[in-house]
Amino acid sequence: MTSRSIFEILEEKGIRVSDLIEAALEVFVPHPSVDGSLDSKEAVREALEEELKITLSDFNVCSLLLAGLRLDEDGSRGLIPNLSIKDYESDTVALVADEVLGMALANYLAGTRAIFQFNQFERLKPGIIGKLSPFLDDIISGLLAGCLTNLYNKKILR
């Protein structure tokens, strides 16, 4: 039995790799310590795509993404105990498990620096992130925060 790739699963939810890259590019700020390898938008796009492929080859990352996807399904169907569909869809301030899951993924991928990057994604909600439901916007923000932080780290710390 073969399983679907995480890319296929995300695409089924309307989340394409190109959407992820575009959202990350909205938050990307060139760092003065980075060599010239990330001078053009195309170079950043290519580096992010490679970083996403590497990151999404980790079954732990896939597991956290799947948890966010499952929680989204359950939340939208009213299956999370004590959380109404209305409260889920409005992303009530009492719902913090979505942020915890997103921050956990960011932290797993790139440590404390990624938490700061996660907060940028949370505040700005760039691109597709602003269109996603509570668990999905945060788990995707965590993924992108980790990838972007790792991209900075690889270029700065080499």
pLDDT tens digits for 8-66? Answer: 999 999 999 999 999 999 998 876 655 566 667 788 899 999 999 999 999 999 999 99
What pLDDT was estimated at residue 144?
Answer: 98
* pLDDT for the residue numbered 83: 96
- Judge contact between 26 and 80, C-beta under 8 A: no
10 Å CB burial of residue 60 (0-12, 13-18, 19+) is: exposed
Query: What's the pLDDT score for residue 3?
Result: 84
Distance separating alpha carbons of residues 106 and 113, to the nearest angstrom: 9
**Domain 6-156, CATH class in plain words:** mainly alpha
| pLDDT value of residue 32 | 63
Assess whether pLDDT exceeds 80 at residue 101: yes
Residue 102: CA atoms inside 13 Å, Cβ hemisphere, count?
27
Sign for the CA dihedral angle at 25, 21, 151, 105 comes to positive
Average pLDDT of the residues in 109-137: 96
Domains in the chain: boundaries: 6-156
pLDDT computed for residue 134 by the predictor: 95
What pLDDT is attached to residue 33? 58
pTM of the shown model: 0.93
pLDDT at 109 over 80: yes
pLDDT at 126: 98
